[in-house]
Structure 1
Amino acid sequence: MKKISLLLLLFVIGCTTTPVDTEERISANRQVVKDLFAALKGELEKALAAGGPAAAIPVCNAKVPEIGKTFKAKYPDWTIGRTSLKTRNPKNAPDEWEKDVLQRFEARKAAGEDPKTMEYSAFVEKDGVPMFRYMKAIPTADACLLCHGKVLLPEVAAKLDELYPEDKARGFDLGDIRGAFSFMQPVSSRN
Protein backbone atom coordinates (compact mmCIF):
# COMPACT_ATOMS: atom_id res chain seq x y z
CA MET A 1 0.00 0.00 0.00
CA LYS A 2 2.86 2.38 0.83
CA LYS A 3 4.37 1.76 -2.60
CA ILE A 4 1.08 2.62 -4.27
CA SER A 5 0.76 5.78 -2.17
CA LEU A 6 4.31 6.81 -3.02
CA LEU A 7 3.78 6.17 -6.72
CA LEU A 8 0.53 8.13 -6.63
CA LEU A 9 2.25 11.01 -4.83
CA LEU A 10 5.07 11.07 -7.37
CA PHE A 11 2.52 11.03 -10.19
CA VAL A 12 0.50 13.86 -8.65
CA ILE A 13 3.59 15.94 -7.96
CA GLY A 14 4.89 15.24 -11.45
CA CYS A 15 1.61 16.42 -12.94
CA THR A 16 1.30 19.52 -10.79
CA THR A 17 4.85 20.81 -10.65
CA THR A 18 7.21 21.91 -13.35
CA PRO A 19 10.83 23.03 -13.27
CA VAL A 20 9.53 26.61 -13.43
CA ASP A 21 7.19 25.95 -10.48
CA THR A 22 10.07 24.44 -8.51
CA GLU A 23 12.34 27.40 -9.27
CA GLU A 24 9.58 29.83 -8.29
CA ARG A 25 9.17 28.01 -4.97
CA ILE A 26 12.91 28.00 -4.32
CA SER A 27 13.12 31.69 -5.19
CA ALA A 28 10.21 32.50 -2.84
CA ASN A 29 11.85 30.49 -0.05
CA ARG A 30 15.17 32.27 -0.59
CA GLN A 31 13.39 35.61 -0.22
CA VAL A 32 11.73 34.50 3.02
CA VAL A 33 15.15 33.41 4.35
CA LYS A 34 16.57 36.80 3.42
CA ASP A 35 13.72 38.67 5.10
CA LEU A 36 13.68 36.46 8.20
CA PHE A 37 17.46 36.66 8.60
CA ALA A 38 17.34 40.46 8.28
CA ALA A 39 14.63 40.68 10.96
CA LEU A 40 16.50 38.38 13.35
CA LYS A 41 19.84 40.09 12.73
CA GLY A 42 18.30 43.53 13.25
CA GLU A 43 16.92 42.59 16.67
CA LEU A 44 20.19 40.93 17.66
CA GLU A 45 22.28 43.94 16.64
CA LYS A 46 20.02 46.33 18.59
CA ALA A 47 20.20 44.16 21.70
CA LEU A 48 23.98 43.74 21.47
CA ALA A 49 24.48 47.49 21.07
CA ALA A 50 22.17 48.23 23.99
CA GLY A 51 23.67 45.87 26.55
CA GLY A 52 26.13 43.34 25.18
CA PRO A 53 25.75 39.60 24.68
CA ALA A 54 24.37 38.68 28.12
CA ALA A 55 21.67 41.34 27.82
CA ALA A 56 20.88 40.25 24.26
CA ILE A 57 20.00 36.68 25.25
CA PRO A 58 16.66 37.52 26.92
CA VAL A 59 15.81 39.83 24.01
CA CYS A 60 16.44 36.99 21.54
CA ASN A 61 14.46 34.66 23.79
CA ALA A 62 11.43 36.96 23.60
CA LYS A 63 11.80 38.54 20.14
CA VAL A 64 12.49 35.47 18.01
CA PRO A 65 9.03 33.95 18.69
CA GLU A 66 7.42 37.35 17.92
CA ILE A 67 9.26 37.54 14.60
CA GLY A 68 8.16 33.98 13.86
CA LYS A 69 4.52 34.94 14.47
CA THR A 70 4.88 37.88 12.07
CA PHE A 71 6.15 35.59 9.33
CA LYS A 72 3.50 32.97 10.11
CA ALA A 73 0.84 35.66 9.62
CA LYS A 74 2.38 36.64 6.29
CA TYR A 75 2.70 33.01 5.12
CA PRO A 76 -0.19 31.20 6.86
CA ASP A 77 0.17 27.94 4.91
CA TRP A 78 3.88 27.62 5.67
CA THR A 79 5.72 26.06 8.56
CA ILE A 80 8.64 28.41 9.20
CA GLY A 81 11.43 27.66 11.63
CA ARG A 82 15.05 27.12 12.43
CA THR A 83 16.61 23.87 13.53
CA SER A 84 20.00 22.38 14.26
CA LEU A 85 21.77 19.18 15.16
CA LYS A 86 22.73 21.07 18.34
CA THR A 87 19.64 22.98 19.45
CA ARG A 88 19.41 25.68 22.06
CA ASN A 89 15.69 25.12 22.55
CA PRO A 90 14.47 21.50 22.34
CA LYS A 91 11.27 22.75 20.65
CA ASN A 92 13.45 23.39 17.59
CA ALA A 93 14.77 19.82 17.36
CA PRO A 94 14.89 18.57 13.77
CA ASP A 95 12.41 16.05 12.45
CA GLU A 96 13.86 13.09 10.54
CA TRP A 97 13.83 14.89 7.18
CA GLU A 98 15.54 17.96 8.65
CA LYS A 99 18.09 15.82 10.47
CA ASP A 100 18.95 14.05 7.21
CA VAL A 101 19.38 17.38 5.39
CA LEU A 102 21.53 18.81 8.21
CA GLN A 103 23.75 15.72 8.05
CA ARG A 104 24.01 16.17 4.27
CA PHE A 105 25.03 19.79 4.84
CA GLU A 106 27.76 18.61 7.23
CA ALA A 107 29.02 16.11 4.64
CA ARG A 108 29.03 18.81 1.97
CA LYS A 109 31.00 21.12 4.28
CA ALA A 110 33.48 18.32 4.99
CA ALA A 111 33.91 17.96 1.22
CA GLY A 112 34.84 21.64 1.00
CA GLU A 113 31.57 23.35 0.09
CA ASP A 114 30.91 26.79 1.59
CA PRO A 115 27.95 26.61 4.02
CA LYS A 116 26.79 30.05 2.82
CA THR A 117 25.72 28.46 -0.46
CA MET A 118 24.05 25.36 0.95
CA GLU A 119 20.36 24.83 0.42
CA TYR A 120 18.17 21.82 -0.21
CA SER A 121 14.60 21.37 -1.36
CA ALA A 122 12.32 18.46 -2.11
CA PHE A 123 8.73 17.49 -2.70
CA VAL A 124 7.66 15.09 0.04
CA GLU A 125 4.53 13.63 1.55
CA LYS A 126 3.75 14.54 5.16
CA ASP A 127 0.68 13.02 6.80
CA GLY A 128 -0.70 12.20 3.36
CA VAL A 129 -0.33 15.76 2.03
CA PRO A 130 2.11 16.64 -0.79
CA MET A 131 4.51 19.27 0.58
CA PHE A 132 7.41 21.36 -0.66
CA ARG A 133 10.26 21.53 1.85
CA TYR A 134 13.24 23.86 1.80
CA MET A 135 16.27 24.29 4.03
CA LYS A 136 19.06 26.88 3.95
CA ALA A 137 22.19 26.41 6.05
CA ILE A 138 23.09 29.01 8.67
CA PRO A 139 26.88 29.36 8.90
CA THR A 140 28.38 30.49 12.19
CA ALA A 141 29.52 34.12 11.91
CA ASP A 142 31.65 36.17 14.31
CA ALA A 143 28.63 37.55 16.17
CA CYS A 144 27.25 34.02 16.65
CA LEU A 145 30.35 33.03 18.61
CA LEU A 146 29.40 35.40 21.45
CA CYS A 147 26.65 32.96 22.49
CA HIS A 148 27.43 29.83 20.46
CA GLY A 149 31.24 29.67 20.54
CA LYS A 150 33.61 27.45 22.48
CA VAL A 151 34.58 30.18 24.94
CA LEU A 152 31.75 32.20 26.46
CA LEU A 153 31.85 35.04 28.96
CA PRO A 154 30.73 33.76 32.39
CA GLU A 155 27.67 36.04 32.40
CA VAL A 156 26.68 34.76 28.95
CA ALA A 157 27.00 31.13 30.03
CA ALA A 158 24.99 31.85 33.20
CA LYS A 159 22.17 33.56 31.28
CA LEU A 160 22.05 30.73 28.73
CA ASP A 161 21.92 28.17 31.55
CA GLU A 162 19.05 30.10 33.13
CA LEU A 163 16.93 30.53 29.99
CA TYR A 164 17.88 27.35 28.15
CA PRO A 165 18.61 24.54 30.63
CA GLU A 166 18.77 21.98 27.79
CA ASP A 167 21.09 24.09 25.60
CA LYS A 168 23.34 22.11 23.27
CA ALA A 169 24.11 24.99 20.89
CA ARG A 170 27.61 25.80 22.10
CA GLY A 171 31.10 24.92 20.97
CA PHE A 172 30.88 26.22 17.41
CA ASP A 173 33.77 27.62 15.40
CA LEU A 174 33.62 30.33 12.76
CA GLY A 175 32.15 28.86 9.57
CA ASP A 176 30.56 25.82 11.22
CA ILE A 177 27.00 25.02 10.25
CA ARG A 178 25.07 26.50 13.17
CA GLY A 179 21.79 25.11 11.86
CA ALA A 180 19.33 25.88 9.09
CA PHE A 181 16.19 27.74 8.22
CA SER A 182 13.53 25.15 7.50
CA PHE A 183 10.31 25.85 5.62
CA MET A 184 7.46 23.62 4.54
CA GLN A 185 4.39 24.46 2.49
CA PRO A 186 1.59 22.44 0.91
CA VAL A 187 2.16 21.89 -2.80
CA SER A 188 -1.29 23.41 -3.32
CA SER A 189 -0.16 26.68 -1.66
CA ARG A 190 0.78 29.47 -4.03
CA ASN A 191 1.96 32.18 -1.61
Structure 2
Amino acid sequence: MIKGVVAGLGLFLLCGSAFADEAALKAQAAQLTGAYAKELQATMAGALAKGGPLGALDICNKQAPKIASDLSKSSGWSIGRTSLKPRNAASTPDDYERKVMENFDARLARGEKPDTLVSAAVVEGKDGKLFRFMKAIPTGAICLTCHGANVAPELKQKISQLYPSDQATGFKLGDLRGAFTLKKVLDGAGD
Protein backbone atom coordinates (compact mmCIF):
# COMPACT_ATOMS: atom_id res chain seq x y z
CA MET A 1 0.00 0.00 0.00
CA ILE A 2 2.75 2.46 0.93
CA LYS A 3 4.64 1.90 -2.33
CA GLY A 4 1.50 2.74 -4.29
CA VAL A 5 1.00 5.96 -2.35
CA VAL A 6 4.61 7.02 -2.87
CA ALA A 7 4.49 6.17 -6.57
CA GLY A 8 1.36 8.29 -6.93
CA LEU A 9 2.87 11.34 -5.25
CA GLY A 10 4.72 12.61 -8.30
CA LEU A 11 7.83 13.10 -6.19
CA PHE A 12 9.70 16.32 -6.81
CA LEU A 13 13.33 16.53 -7.87
CA LEU A 14 15.19 18.88 -5.58
CA CYS A 15 18.56 19.80 -7.08
CA GLY A 16 21.05 22.20 -5.55
CA SER A 17 19.23 25.30 -4.42
CA ALA A 18 16.22 24.83 -6.70
CA PHE A 19 13.36 24.02 -4.34
CA ALA A 20 9.87 22.85 -5.08
CA ASP A 21 7.58 25.51 -3.70
CA GLU A 22 6.42 25.24 -0.13
CA ALA A 23 2.78 24.66 -1.07
CA ALA A 24 3.74 21.61 -3.13
CA LEU A 25 5.95 20.29 -0.32
CA LYS A 26 3.15 20.84 2.18
CA ALA A 27 0.71 18.95 -0.05
CA GLN A 28 3.17 16.10 -0.46
CA ALA A 29 3.81 15.96 3.31
CA ALA A 30 0.06 15.98 4.02
CA GLN A 31 -0.44 13.09 1.59
CA LEU A 32 2.40 11.10 3.21
CA THR A 33 0.96 11.82 6.66
CA GLY A 34 -2.42 10.54 5.52
CA ALA A 35 -0.87 7.37 4.13
CA TYR A 36 1.08 6.81 7.34
CA ALA A 37 -1.96 7.40 9.53
CA LYS A 38 -4.13 5.10 7.41
CA GLU A 39 -1.56 2.28 7.52
CA LEU A 40 -1.12 2.67 11.30
CA GLN A 41 -4.87 2.67 11.90
CA ALA A 42 -5.43 -0.41 9.74
CA THR A 43 -2.56 -2.25 11.43
CA MET A 44 -3.80 -1.36 14.91
CA ALA A 45 -7.44 -2.20 14.12
CA GLY A 46 -6.37 -5.63 12.86
CA ALA A 47 -4.20 -6.20 15.93
CA LEU A 48 -7.00 -5.18 18.29
CA ALA A 49 -9.45 -7.50 16.54
CA LYS A 50 -7.00 -10.43 16.70
CA GLY A 51 -5.29 -10.04 20.05
CA GLY A 52 -7.09 -7.33 21.99
CA PRO A 53 -5.17 -4.47 23.63
CA LEU A 54 -2.22 -6.68 24.68
CA GLY A 55 -1.78 -7.97 21.14
CA ALA A 56 -2.14 -4.46 19.72
CA LEU A 57 0.57 -3.23 22.07
CA ASP A 58 3.00 -5.82 20.71
CA ILE A 59 2.12 -4.89 17.13
CA CYS A 60 2.43 -1.17 17.88
CA ASN A 61 5.88 -1.77 19.39
CA LYS A 62 7.16 -3.66 16.36
CA GLN A 63 5.11 -2.50 13.38
CA ALA A 64 4.67 1.26 13.90
CA PRO A 65 8.43 1.97 13.60
CA LYS A 66 8.66 -0.35 10.57
CA ILE A 67 5.77 1.41 8.82
CA ALA A 68 7.48 4.78 9.37
CA SER A 69 10.84 3.40 8.23
CA ASP A 70 9.42 1.81 5.07
CA LEU A 71 7.53 4.96 4.11
CA SER A 72 10.61 7.10 4.82
CA LYS A 73 12.80 4.93 2.59
CA SER A 74 10.34 4.85 -0.27
CA SER A 75 9.50 8.57 -0.16
CA GLY A 76 12.80 10.29 0.62
CA TRP A 77 11.28 12.00 3.65
CA SER A 78 12.01 11.37 7.32
CA ILE A 79 8.64 10.33 8.76
CA GLY A 80 7.69 9.59 12.35
CA ARG A 81 5.61 10.48 15.37
CA THR A 82 6.52 12.45 18.45
CA SER A 83 4.85 13.59 21.66
CA LEU A 84 5.37 15.90 24.60
CA LYS A 85 4.75 12.74 26.64
CA PRO A 86 6.42 10.02 24.56
CA ARG A 87 5.91 6.34 25.11
CA ASN A 88 9.02 5.39 23.19
CA ALA A 89 12.16 7.34 24.14
CA ALA A 90 13.12 7.33 20.43
CA SER A 91 10.08 9.55 19.82
CA THR A 92 11.23 12.33 22.14
CA PRO A 93 10.71 15.65 20.35
CA ASP A 94 13.54 17.88 19.18
CA ASP A 95 13.34 21.61 20.04
CA TYR A 96 11.44 22.44 16.86
CA GLU A 97 8.86 19.68 17.44
CA ARG A 98 8.44 20.68 21.09
CA LYS A 99 7.71 24.30 20.17
CA VAL A 100 5.20 23.29 17.48
CA MET A 101 3.34 20.93 19.85
CA GLU A 102 3.27 23.56 22.59
CA ASN A 103 1.71 25.87 19.99
CA PHE A 104 -0.78 23.12 19.07
CA ASP A 105 -1.73 22.77 22.76
CA ALA A 106 -2.31 26.54 23.03
CA ARG A 107 -4.43 26.50 19.88
CA LEU A 108 -6.49 23.58 21.23
CA ALA A 109 -7.04 25.52 24.45
CA ARG A 110 -8.37 28.44 22.36
CA GLY A 111 -10.93 26.09 20.80
CA GLU A 112 -9.34 25.16 17.48
CA LYS A 113 -10.28 21.74 16.17
CA PRO A 114 -7.50 19.12 16.42
CA ASP A 115 -7.73 18.16 12.73
CA THR A 116 -6.80 21.73 11.73
CA LEU A 117 -3.54 21.77 13.70
CA VAL A 118 -0.79 21.69 11.08
CA SER A 119 2.57 23.41 10.87
CA ALA A 120 4.84 23.68 7.83
CA ALA A 121 8.05 25.66 7.44
CA VAL A 122 11.46 25.78 5.83
CA VAL A 123 14.06 25.87 8.60
CA GLU A 124 17.82 25.77 8.88
CA GLY A 125 19.02 22.54 10.49
CA LYS A 126 22.29 20.73 11.04
CA ASP A 127 21.73 19.08 7.64
CA GLY A 128 21.09 22.41 5.86
CA LYS A 129 17.68 23.73 4.82
CA LEU A 130 14.85 21.43 5.79
CA PHE A 131 11.16 21.42 5.08
CA ARG A 132 9.42 20.55 8.35
CA PHE A 133 5.78 19.43 8.53
CA MET A 134 3.77 18.44 11.60
CA LYS A 135 0.15 17.41 12.04
CA ALA A 136 -1.51 16.97 15.42
CA ILE A 137 -2.62 13.55 16.63
CA PRO A 138 -5.59 14.03 18.96
CA THR A 139 -6.40 11.43 21.60
CA GLY A 140 -9.36 9.37 20.40
CA ALA A 141 -11.56 7.06 22.45
CA ILE A 142 -9.66 3.93 21.41
CA CYS A 143 -6.34 5.60 22.40
CA LEU A 144 -7.51 5.82 26.01
CA THR A 145 -7.21 2.03 26.37
CA CYS A 146 -3.40 2.34 26.50
CA HIS A 147 -2.92 6.09 26.97
CA GLY A 148 -5.73 7.11 29.35
CA ALA A 149 -5.79 7.64 33.09
CA ASN A 150 -7.21 4.17 33.85
CA VAL A 151 -5.00 1.70 31.99
CA ALA A 152 -5.72 -1.94 32.94
CA PRO A 153 -3.04 -3.47 35.22
CA GLU A 154 -1.98 -6.15 32.69
CA LEU A 155 -1.53 -3.43 30.05
CA LYS A 156 0.47 -1.26 32.47
CA GLN A 157 2.79 -4.18 33.12
CA LYS A 158 3.28 -4.88 29.39
CA ILE A 159 3.83 -1.16 28.67
CA SER A 160 6.50 -1.05 31.39
CA GLN A 161 8.25 -4.05 29.82
CA LEU A 162 8.20 -2.67 26.27
CA TYR A 163 8.72 1.00 27.17
CA PRO A 164 10.62 1.45 30.44
CA SER A 165 10.66 5.26 30.06
CA ASP A 166 6.95 5.57 29.18
CA GLN A 167 5.34 8.97 29.84
CA ALA A 168 2.30 8.49 27.60
CA THR A 169 -0.57 7.91 30.01
CA GLY A 170 -3.10 10.17 31.68
CA PHE A 171 -4.54 11.55 28.44
CA LYS A 172 -8.17 12.58 28.10
CA LEU A 173 -10.37 12.45 25.01
CA GLY A 174 -9.33 15.26 22.64
CA ASP A 175 -5.96 15.95 24.28
CA LEU A 176 -2.96 16.39 22.03
CA ARG A 177 -1.53 12.85 22.04
CA GLY A 178 1.34 13.87 19.81
CA ALA A 179 2.08 14.74 16.20
CA PHE A 180 3.12 13.24 12.92
CA THR A 181 6.47 14.78 12.07
CA LEU A 182 8.06 14.87 8.63
CA LYS A 183 11.16 16.51 7.28
CA LYS A 184 12.96 16.66 3.97
CA VAL A 185 16.45 17.98 3.30
CA LEU A 186 16.15 20.64 0.61
CA ASP A 187 19.67 21.59 -0.34
CA GLY A 188 21.26 18.20 -0.90
CA ALA A 189 23.26 18.30 2.33
CA GLY A 190 23.07 15.52 4.84
CA ASP A 191 20.80 13.00 3.07
Could you state the TM-score of these two structures normalised by the residue count of structure 1?
Answer: 0.86
CA shift for structure 1 position 17: 5.4
What is residue 24 of structure 1 aligned with on the other side? 24
What is residue 153 of structure 1 aligned with on the other side? 152
CA shift for structure 1 position 188: 4.1
Inter-CA distance 128–55: structure 2 relative to 1 (3 Å threshold):
closer
Could you state the TM-score of these two structures normalised by the residue count of structure 2?
Answer: 0.86
Inter-CA distance 186–87: structure 2 relative to 1 (3 Å threshold):
same
What is residue 110 of structure 1 aligned with on the other side? 109
What is residue 61 of structure 1 aligned with on the other side? 61
**Distance between the aligned counterparts of 1:95 and 1:171, measured in 2?**
22
1:38 is the counterpart of 2:38: yes
Residue by residue over 1:93-114, the C-alpha shift from the partner in whole angstroms, topping out at 9 and shown as x without a partner, is 0000000001000010111111
CA shift for structure 1 position 122: 0.8
Contact 2:120 2:132 in 1 (8 A): yes
**Distance between the aligned counterparts of 1:39 and 1:24, measured in 2?**
23
Aligned-residue CA RMSD (Å): 1.5
Higher helix share: 1
**SS of residue paired to 1:166:** coil
Query: What amino acid is the match of 1:25?
Result: L
Residue by residue over 1:156-188, the C-alpha shift from the partner in whole angstroms, topping out at 9 and shown as x without a partner, is 111101111110000111111100001110224
**SS of residue paired to 1:168:** coil
Query: What amino acid is the match of 1:69?
Result: S
What is residue 95 of structure 2 aligned with on the other side? 96
Task: Report how many residues are paired.
Answer: 172
Tell me, which stretches of 5 or more residues in structure 2 are unaligned? 1-16
**SS of residue paired to 1:46:** helix
**Distance between the aligned counterparts of 2:19 and 2:40, measured in 1?**
32
Inter-CA distance 35–128: structure 2 relative to 1 (3 Å threshold):
closer
CA shift for structure 1 position 68: 1.6
Residue by residue over 1:30-86, the C-alpha shift from the partner in whole angstroms, topping out at 9 and shown as x without a partner, is 10010000111111001100111112111111111211221022123x211110000
Using the aligned pairs only, state the percent identity. 40
Tell me, which stretches of 5 or more residues in structure 1 are unaligned? 1-14
What is residue 3 of structure 1 aligned with on the other side? none
What is residue 164 of structure 1 aligned with on the other side? 163
Q: Which runs of 4+ in 1 moved over 3 A?
A: 15-18
**Distance between the aligned counterparts of 1:153 and 1:90, measured in 2?**
22
CA shift for structure 1 position 127: 1.5
Contact 2:127 2:185 in 1 (8 A): no
**Distance between the aligned counterparts of 2:174 and 2:117, measured in 1?**
12
